[in-house]
Amino acid sequence: MTRLFALTGLALAVSLTVTAPAGARAPGANAKNTKHHAHHLLQAEKDLTAAEAAITQQNLPQAHKDVAAAIRQVEEAIHHHHKHHISQPTNSGLTGTFHRAHHQHHHSLLHKAVAEMRAAEKQLKAGNGAAASRDIQVAQKTIASAIASHHQLIGR
């Protein structure tokens, strides 16, 4: 009977190791990269908030600088996400497929946010602060979704 329990325990341990997402096997392995990735997204949020404040003060050149800074932050986050998450091998099977799909969704949110910020940048260049503000608000929501998606990816 104890041999049966030992074999069952061994089978369970092997199945958990094989089906766990790549990040779950080594919780500290990507901790630094994960925090760095999140830092870029949080900084982009701050930059967009500063851009909104600059638009409110009718300082479109400063708003343009803030939006450009936010774009750079999200592009850095994309780079880190691609380097440390998407390009990393994951498990095969349903768990691996789900994990890759979640990463791809997160990555697409980041690209969407960049496109929305570029639209705001274009409106600022044209001197249209109201339209830029709307684009910034849309980008802020997309970045918030990307941050939430990021937290789901790392299990927080």
Predicted pLDDT of residue 13: 43
How many other C-beta atoms can be found within 10 angstroms of the C-beta atom of residue 13?
A: 10
For 112, how many CA atoms within 13 A lie in the half-sphere containing its CB?
15
Q: If you write DSSP's letter for every residue of 13-52 in order, what string do you get? A: HHHHHHHS-HHHHSTTTTHHHHHHHHHHHHHHHHHHHHHH
For the segment 43-97, what is each residue's pLDDT rounded down to a tens digit?
999 999 999 999 999 999 999 999 999 999 999 988 875 555 544 455 566 666 6
Predicted pLDDT of residue 107: 83
Predicted pLDDT of residue 99: 64
Distance, CA of 26 to CA of 17 (rounded, Å): 10
Predicted pLDDT of residue 68: 97
Between these two residues, 47 and 148, which has the higher pLDDT value? 47
Predicted pLDDT of residue 48: 97
Alpha helices in the chain (DSSP H): 2-19, 22-25, 31-56, 60-81, 93-125, 129-154
- The residue count of the chain comes to 156
Where along the chain do its domains lie?
35-155
For Cα atoms 80, 119, 79, give the angle at the middle one, nearest 5 degrees: 5
Token representation of residue 46? 């701050």
Task: Give me the percent of the chain exceeding a pLDDT of 70.
Answer: 58
Predicted pLDDT of residue 21: 41
Predicted pLDDT of residue 134: 97
For Cα atoms 81, 114, 95, give the angle at the middle one, nearest 5 degrees: 35
Q: Is 153:106 a contact under the CB 8 Å cutoff?
A: yes
For the segment 93-109, what is each residue's pLDDT rounded down to a tens digit?
666 666 667 678 888 99
Maximum C-alpha span of the chain: 78
For the segment 107-143, what is each residue's pLDDT rounded down to a tens digit?
899 999 999 999 999 999 999 999 999 999 999 999 9
- What class has domain 35-155? mainly alpha
